[in-house]
Structure 1
């Protein structure tokens, strides 16, 4: 039987405490009278001398083994291959490995988008050693989530999903996964922070934990002490030591119906680019897409969005998240500061474009390869090694390898070695996605870029020719 320690907070003053309070009052009076001296024998801090009460009460578990035994069957390994099944010889080593967890007997599996994004063939291996082929049902690069389905699986275990909104900083959690190919490794730690923004994408809202989350843990579950999944582990920062991140499970639950029905997430879009305003609780509009919902509602460049549906806007990322999570067709009210006047606009949310606008379309698409030349940029795909050398927080993005000295990008502040992670409000995971974002721009419009410079995010506005 574990030893239970019940501790209660007592605010009863002790003799030394009274002495300190008397000293503090005396020092305050002396300070008001102009005496700034402090005797070296007189402390300027408070102590309890070991007699103060503990602030928490707990029963220390003798082992986490019962929890691990209960939840491990629902945790799986994801094996991906870059060749189609007919081209894979028996015994071929997987191109990549990751982790995931089973939702129920239907065989649906949650993992990370980056684990399966280039896979031609996917297998999953269960805790009991069984291996099944699986298919990709849908994925979402913005949140790095993927939904798989096991083919012809029987007697499948599953996990139970919890409520990530109930998590508090200081709660204990357990991560289970496949780090470095080591099956079913367990680590534990505390919730270090919530709603952490890393600059990885427009919907950053990570749980931070000191439970070890290494490559291969990606897509695995983060459990609370009730054995419920409260997050999806994601190794999003290169060479992070003692820091792990997970996507909150409540966000996952919001997105799963879209992934199941559509294969992708239908996200709200207003057709405007916003940036942070230092020191102000708002988001500044720096560009409005002609013909988009924001333009139709009457918003202009220079407006400051202060509220959305009556709730304050704390940052541009918060505004982007709220809009993205609205269903297309939804009416949204925005409080706007235009100069000295406070105004309100109502816009109908559209679905965010998932493909670049073709050249010659009504919105006037541009050739994206030519756009890079006109911006004065040469970029390359980022990989894990390059990300480590550059101090980048994620192995995804477009790495700037050349900048024309007098080009628009250079004038906007883009530097050699910057990593472009967002362009025109769209996440940039590769050179191709950067080109796709550029293809939606109209000639002569301003282009907002988010770049990482030695791991620090920066927002830049490029005047395009």
Structure 2
């Protein structure tokens, strides 16, 4: 309940001020959202390299039996050739084949034969539209406790530097534990807005999910060729700390990233980028983090020049780099 405070004592003859009561927002019933989505969530089990069992979660993407999970959930099974099983809420044990995977973003696309018993499919939402403070629901199988549901809010967006070069995590305080990996983070609309991926064990309420818009970008490649094609300009960038920002001339919401390495002879070098340059935009899109910069470059078209806005010695320049396909 909200804290209550005593009303101020009124002076004799003073009129009481009218109080305005804000309307209470009507939120969807969480149990109704869970009832619509829970059946489309599966428990993923596969053999681990140490001879044990790797446990994770996943969710059904379409009626053909496509299932999304994290790559790290099935990594060992791919390495040693063991089976991958998807266990449904109604107890079916389905053997899954790997349609495609992307280690860089920790995503994998599996496929199962649903026969004549389809699973509910979970619609994909728009993670860019999600706001900090929005309510979310995490569904998965932490510690083999199938179809566990936890609730929290979006605590932050654009979290990078946690797991890989393309990080852009949604942060949530919905409880995420071992076994939740690959399960959906669901908005109150019933749409998936993230894929639960990791938790910081040294803290509390620090769970992270891959934004679903990253999955949507990768799905065409995962479905058609089983891997993700990316472009590169041979530039490594790092985030700029608040202390470092003071001497950069960056103002307001402009974040930018600092160039840490330029590989000789590659497109970034040919375009004139130097170590220490601050990249503020790619093709007019403001750069918010190193993961964001890497994704903007990665999804550009090889052989087609892109405009990169940089800041160097308190002046801004635009350079053109022509990406190549990353090997």
Verify same fold: TM over 0.5.
Answer: yes
3-state SS of 1:118 partner: helix
- Deviation, structure 1 residue 54: 5.2
Partner residue in 2 for 1:86: none
Is the CA contact (8 Å cut-off) linking 1:232 and 1:249 kept in structure 2? yes
Distance 1:196 1:269 in 2: 22
Note the aligned Cα RMSD (angstroms): 2.9
Equivalent position of 2:74 in the other structure:
116
Distance 1:127 1:289, change over 3 A: same
1:64 aligns with 2:64: no
Q: Which residue of 2 aligns with 1:298?
A: 272
Structure 2 residue runs of 5 or longer lacking an equivalent are: 1-6, 251-255
Give the counterpart of 1:136 among 75, 94, 98: 98
1:321 counterpart = 2:295: yes
1:98 corresponds to which residue?
Answer: 56
Is the contact between residue 176 and residue 199 of structure 2 (CA under 8 Å) also seen in structure 1?
no
1:94, distance to aligned residue in structure 2 (A): 6.0
Match of 2:107 among 145, 155, 177: 145
Q: Distance in 2 between matches of 1:105 and 1:98?
A: 21
Q: Is contact 1:271-1:294 (8 Å) kept?
A: yes
Contact 1:76 1:124 in 2 (8 A): yes
Distance in 2 between residues matched to 1:268 and 1:96, nearest whole Å: 32
Give the alignment partner of residue 75 of structure 1, picking from 22, 31, 41. 41
Provide, for residues 326-351 of structure 1, a one-character-per-residue CA deviation record: whole Å limited to 9, x for no partner: 24334211123454664332111112
The number of residues matched between the two structures is: 299
In structure 2, the residue corresponding to 1:199 is in which secondary structure?
coil
Q: C-alpha distance in 2, partners of 1:50/1:175?
A: 44
Change (3 A) 1:175 1:283: closer
Which has the bigger relative contact order, CA under 8 A and spacing at least 6?
2
Find the residue that maps to 2:307 and give its secondary structure. strand
Relative to the length of structure 2, the TM-score reads: 0.81
Deviation at 1:74, TM superposition (A): 0.6
Q: Following the alignment from structure 1 to structure 2, what is the Cα–Cα distance between the partners of residues 264 and 82?
A: 22
- Matching residue of 2:220: 257
Q: Structure 1 residue 212: deviation in Å?
A: 0.8
The change in CA–CA distance for 1:330 and 1:213 in structure 2 (over 3 A counts) is farther
Q: Rg bigger for which structure?
A: 1
Q: Determine whether 1:107 maps to 2:60.
A: no
Q: 1:51 to 1:112 in 2, by over 3 A?
A: farther
